[in-house]
């Protein structure tokens, strides 16, 4: 055993216990850390002494990591003396631990197996990252610092949801995620096993669920733009977990103190099972029922028939097999996003409503979910569901997941005395962009940065005090609509899962964003050693270009990391470490290519941001409209083909207009309006655009009109499509743009029956 003293610790520390705990390179941050001097080093002579077989299994998971990377495996004995000693302390809280590291040995105390496991995860993160690799690392010193740690979690429910229905994650990939989640002290894995896009678990009683429901058509398009299966096509993409696979996954997770919670969706998100057994749909369904490759359009309205008793028998039989495979005390029943179109016209559903004295379709879903929830409870399990279930009377004992917006619907459940879990889409849905969208893989909606996740506080200030007592914990939800590979999942999950783990474990207190980043920088190499290519979005630059009103544009740049420099150029060349340092917003008054990138210690950290600022007679001029971000119309910067990239001004389900002030009477020969179409998201060019001009902003004279046919508006495509007005001859100070919304998406469209968005990114006047 090597025992030496050192005078400095590997990370910068402060005098107070709180700040030193925050500086310890561990995520989640331990509650209390006392600094010592020196280190303890593991080597071939290190011996663990444990009290029982359960502790031995926990210790073995840890010591086995040394085999490939260090070339030795510490010995473990039940009873006796050792260099690392486990001792039960029943006074400690559940999952909590005390860790005492000296130069001569390590003492670990906990009240339960989980506490011992988490103490070892703290040590794991403090060891060199090679401990998590598969290559021999000769010459590495396997050291941890001398210290005392007292730690326990804030929430008992700390969860990761993985959607294996949209992207079927092979078993070994899932096991890798389980190992990482365990390192981060996450103790629940919620498996979304069923959706319109695939059935992912073997049910022996219903073989067509695997033969039919587990397979869909491969499509190259992004998720919302994927066409449904056509007649004659043979599904060629998918897969499912055998019951043997499930047992292995559950056991692997249990060894790492993770409870696996299955989700079987109902009554909606069920095209995969209905493709296999179409007789379970309402008899009035007038569309082919197939496993959906993507968004599915109106086909997602095909759901289980609530008036058919065979549906409930089928689901009970399915749940019997599922619950036998998962020892978890929880069973998630879904219950979200059920469009009840067919229920409203189905004779069976109408008969059910009459027989059960049900007045509306929402209460019909309440009947459906209560019936299935009662069955789950009869089997000794606790039912769970999404927050749409608060739209009707909640089933007894139901645990609600708050997801819509900031998850506030879950408090409706709390008001009725139900327990709940927070997984708000606006903060913890990792399907969203995690950085400046121009650098990110294509996905949905807006941004959720690493900082957004870290700063999330689950308990809202407007809650009644009793709601906090019913909050079980939080969940990071990894929806996989846009994932086609393990690397895609990794990019969306990491490093945001580190921040989510911190939110779930650490006590409420003052946030230390800079301290978290320093700790994340130390932990992320462990993920790299495991083959995880995490996103580096936190190093990329956000921008905001704002017209000043006098023909100039102000350029503002920022990065969520406060420990980097932004270096930039305005001559079109890529920045280097000695390029101009960005300190404050600056103005440009002519066509300029601004390039910027982050540096730290002279090393480039992010990707190069290119802002091609083009000038015309409208650039830098004022625009008046009824949307908040109308400044993007004259800021000289074109948007990307993502209407959510913050360079597009949008109007939803209504006609619109805006007025451009050119500052003085100006000759106008040509006007171009930047438009975008994304039919899969209900974004379309206007049906008509009218231009008019004025000298006093009161009396406007018509200038030009452009109309688009129904076919032109609703062609299937994603593209930037400028509206060009040539051959104009006018002189005016003000230009008014009025446009007509094209109305609801037509039959056969991706968003059939839904209202449309109209977006503009730039007004170009020549």
Residue of 37, 89, 279, 337 with catalytic role: 337
Q: Using alpha carbons, select from 721, 724, 681, 719 the residue that is nearest to residue 706.
A: 724
Residue 398 contacts residue 413 (beta carbons within 8 Å): yes
Whether 245 is catalytic is no
The one catalytic residue among 192, 196, 265, 269: 269
337 is catalytic: yes
DSSP for 570-620, written as a single string: SBSSPP-TTSEEP-S-EEE-S-EEEEEEEEETTEE-SPPEEEEE---TTTT
Q: Is 491 a catalytic residue?
A: no
CA dihedral 567, 572, 576, 580 (to 10 degrees): -40
Q: How far apart are CA 585 and CA 635, in angstroms?
A: 14
Question: How large is the greatest C-alpha to C-alpha distance in the chain, in angstroms?
Answer: 96
**DSSP E strands: which ranges in 423-540?**
432-433, 444-447, 471-478
Cβ neighbours of residue 149 under 8 Å, at least 6 residues apart?
A: 21, 24, 30, 32, 33, 34, 97, 98, 99, 100, 101, 119, 122
CB-based burial label for 41 (10 Å; 0-12, 13-18, 19+): middle
Copy the structure tokens of residue 291. 């496993």
Length of the chain: 766
What does residue 120 show for φ and ψ, rounded to 5 degrees? -70, -30
Tokens coding 1: 């055993």
CA distances from 279 to 80, 310, 314, 592 (A): 64, 9, 11, 63
**Strand ranges (E), 175-324:** 188-192, 194-195, 198-199, 215-216, 237-238, 259-266
Which has the closest alpha carbon to 561: 495, 509, 510? Answer: 495
- Cα radius of gyration (the chain): 29
Can you say whether the dihedral through the CA atoms of 449, 172, 64, 108 is positive or negative? positive
Which residues belong to the active site? Answer: 195, 269, 337
């Amino acid at each position: 055993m090597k025992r030496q003293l050192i005078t400095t610790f590997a990370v910068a520390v402060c005098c107070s216990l709180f700040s030193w705990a925050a500086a310890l390179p561990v995520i989640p941050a331990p509650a209390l850390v006392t600094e010592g001097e020196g280190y303890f080093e593991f080597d071939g002579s290190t011996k663990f002494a444990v009290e029982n077989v359960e502790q031995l299994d926990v210790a073995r998971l840890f010591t086995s990591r040394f085999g490939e990377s260090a070339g030795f495996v510490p010995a473990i004995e039940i009873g006796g003396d050792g260099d690392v000693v486990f001792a039960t302390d029943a006074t400690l809280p559940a999952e909590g631990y005390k860790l005492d590291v000296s130069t001569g040995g390590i003492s670990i105390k906990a009240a339960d197996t989980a506490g011992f496991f988490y103490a070892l995860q703290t040590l794991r993160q403090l060891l060199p990252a090679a401990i998590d690799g598969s290559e021999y690392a000769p010459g590495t010193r396997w050291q941890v610092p001398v210290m005392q740690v007292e730690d326990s979690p804030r929430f008992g429910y700390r969860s990761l949801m993985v959607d294996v229905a949209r992207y079927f994650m092979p078993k070994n990939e899932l096991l890798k995620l389980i190992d990482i989640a365990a390192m981060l002290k996450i103790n629940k894995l919620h498996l979304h096993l069923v959706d319109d896009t695939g059935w992912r678990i073997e049910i022996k009683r219903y073989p067509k669920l695997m033969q039919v429901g587990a397979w869909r058509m491969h499509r190259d398009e992004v998720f919302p733009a994927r066409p449904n299966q056509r007649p004659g096509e043979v599904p060629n993409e998918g897969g499912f977990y055998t019951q043997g696979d499930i047992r292995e996954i559950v056991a692997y997770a249990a060894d790492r103190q993770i409870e696996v919670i299955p989700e079987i969706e109902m009554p909606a998100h069920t095209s995969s099972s209905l493709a296999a057994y179409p007789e379970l749909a309402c008899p009035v369904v007038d569309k082919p029922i197939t496993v959906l490759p993507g968004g599915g359009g109106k086909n997602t309205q095909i759901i289980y028939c609530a008036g058919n008793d065979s549906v409930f028998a089928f689901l009970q039989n399915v749940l019997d097999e599922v619950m036998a495979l998962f020892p978890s005390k929880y069973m998630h029943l879904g219950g979200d996003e059920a469009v009840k179109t067919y229920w409203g016209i189905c004779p069976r559903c109408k008969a059910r409503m009459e027989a059960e004295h049900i007045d509306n379709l929402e209460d019909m879903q309440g009947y459906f979910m209560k019936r299935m929830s009662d069955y789950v409870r009869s089997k000794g399990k606790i039912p769970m569901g999404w927050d749409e279930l608060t739209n009707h009377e909640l089933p007894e004992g139901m645990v609600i997941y708050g997801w819509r917006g900031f998850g506030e619907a879950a408090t409706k459940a709390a008001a009725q005395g139900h327990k709940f879990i927070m997984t708000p889409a606006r903060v913890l849905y990792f399907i969203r962009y995690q950085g400046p969208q121009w650098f990110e893989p294509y996905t949905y909606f807006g941004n959720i940065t690493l900082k957004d996740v870290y700063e999330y506080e689950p308990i809202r200030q407007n809650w009644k005090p009793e709601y906090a007592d019913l909050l079980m914990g939080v969940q990071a939800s990894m929806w996989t609509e846009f994932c086609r590979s393990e690397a895609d999942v990794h990019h969306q999950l990491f490093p945001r899962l580190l921040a989510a783990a911190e939110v779930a474990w650490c006590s409420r207190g003052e946030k230390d964003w800079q301290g978290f980043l320093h700790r994340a920088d130390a932990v992320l190499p462990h993920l790299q050693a495991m083959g995880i290519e995490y996103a580096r979005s936190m190093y990329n630059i956000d921008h905001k270009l704002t017209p000043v009103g006098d023909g100039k544009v102000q350029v503002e740049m920022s990065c969520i990391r406060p420990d980097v420099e932004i270096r930039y150029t305005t001559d079109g060349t890529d920045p280097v470490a000695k390029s101009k340092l960005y300190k404050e917003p600056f103005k440009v008054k002519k066509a300029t290519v601004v390039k910027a990138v982050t540096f730290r210690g002279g090393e480039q950290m992010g990707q190069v941001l290119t802002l091609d600022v083009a000038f015309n007679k409208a650039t830098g001029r004022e625009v008046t409209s009824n949307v908040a971000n109308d400044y993007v119309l004259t800021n000289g910067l074109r948007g990307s083909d993502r209407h959510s990239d913050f360079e597009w001004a949008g109007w939803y389900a209504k006609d619109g207009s805006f007025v451009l002030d050119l500052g003085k009477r100006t000759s106008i020969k040509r006007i171009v309006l930047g438009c975008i179409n994304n039919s899969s998201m209900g974004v379309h060019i206007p049906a008509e655009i009218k231009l008019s001009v004025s000298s006093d902003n009161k009396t406007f004279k018509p200038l030009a009109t452009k109309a688009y046919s129904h076919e032109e508006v609703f062609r299937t495509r994603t593209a930037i499509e400028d509206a060009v007005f040539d051959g104009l001859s006018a002189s005016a100070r003000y230009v008014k743009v009025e446009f007509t919304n094209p109305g609801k998406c037509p039959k056969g469209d991706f968003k059939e029956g839904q209202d449309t968005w109209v977006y503009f990114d730039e007004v170009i006047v020549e």
